[in-house]
């Protein structure tokens, strides 16, 4: 069972493209999609949600692109998850405890009284997970990427975006 959809993974990978040196024009959603090997229309939808949540802002026109709306140290992973997935619960209790064959369709009150213990533990786990996602920022993630990826990759990434941006044509 997947707790969050692929939008979270793709969204986080793409928004991390905005953390770091702001050389040249800001990357477009098309450039971020091409870099990650995913659909440009999908990335555009993700960035629409991120912009509505106030996490990114977009520039107009052919030289436009996306920039973070706040310092990356002020944007948590939870902020991104919430923007892309909303406030849905990760566990949906179906109250199957009512359906025990021994109850013949009429469960006793003791069997359904209060919050189901399984539901309770799942809610506690979800609360802890959300706290952890709130504690990690985009700056933290970018730092981890910088430490784990070879310097050559990071330089190639910057060069790749610079090359794509240089090929944008001004229609004026």
- Residue 172 confidence (pLDDT): 44
Decide: 67 and 45 in contact? Cβ < 8 Å. Answer: no
What are 51-63's pLDDT values in tens digits?
Answer: 999 999 998 766 7
- Residue 81 confidence (pLDDT): 96
What are 79-116's pLDDT values in tens digits?
Answer: 999 999 998 888 888 888 888 888 988 999 998 888 89
Contacts for 31-35 with beta carbons within 8 Å, 24 or more apart?
31/65, 31/161, 31/164, 31/165, 32/66, 34/164, 35/157, 35/160, 35/161
User: Could you count the other beta carbons within 10 Å of the beta carbon of residue 148?
Assistant: 8
């Amino acid at each position: 069972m997947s707790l969050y959809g692929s939008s979270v993974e793709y969204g986080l990978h793409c928004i991390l493209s905005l953390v770091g040196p702001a050389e040249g024009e800001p990357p477009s959603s098309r450039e971020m999609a091409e870099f990650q090997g995913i659909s440009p229309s999908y990335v555009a939808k993700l960035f629409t949600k991120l912009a509505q949540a106030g996490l990114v802002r977009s520039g107009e026109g052919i030289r436009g692109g996306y920039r973070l709306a706040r310092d990356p140290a002020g944007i948590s992973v939870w902020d991104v998850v919430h923007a892309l997935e909303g406030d849905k619960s990760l566990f949906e209790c179906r109250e199957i405890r009512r359906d025990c064959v021994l109850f013949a369709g009429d469960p006793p009150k003791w069997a359904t009284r209060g919050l189901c213990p399984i539901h309770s533990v799942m809610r506690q786990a979800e609360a802890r997970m959300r706290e952890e996602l709130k504690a990690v920022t985009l700056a933290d993630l970018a730092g981890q990427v910088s430490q784990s990826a070879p310097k050559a990759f990071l330089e190639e990434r910057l060069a790749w975006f610079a090359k794509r941006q240089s090929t944008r044509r001004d229609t004026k």
